């Protein structure tokens, strides 16, 4: 999904960017990929 790729690229460019992290989480939630969202969130904290 293009939007997920964009959010990930922003996080790579600006590690720890809370807005991009929240956007990525929202995308995962909306696409019902909650397990992936939790995995990404846990790896960031």
Q: Distance (Å, rounded) from C-alpha 10 to C-alpha 34? A: 20
pLDDT classification of 44: cutoffs 50, 70, 90 = low
For residue 15, what are the CA distances in angstroms to 19, 30, 31? 11, 23, 23
The boundaries of the domain holding residue 13 are 2-44
**pTM for this entry:** 0.59
Quick: pLDDT tens for 25-42: 888 888 887 777 777 767
What's the total number of domains in the chain?
1
Q: Distance (Å, rounded) from C-alpha 16 to C-alpha 9? A: 12
- CA distance between the termini of the chain: 24
Residue 27: what pLDDT?
85
């Amino acid at each position: 999904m293009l939007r997920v790729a964009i959010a990930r690229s922003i996080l790579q460019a600006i590690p720890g960017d809370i807005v991009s992290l929240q956007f990525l989480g929202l995308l995962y939630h909306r696409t019902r990929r909650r397990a992936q969202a939790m995995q990404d969130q846990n790896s960031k904290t």
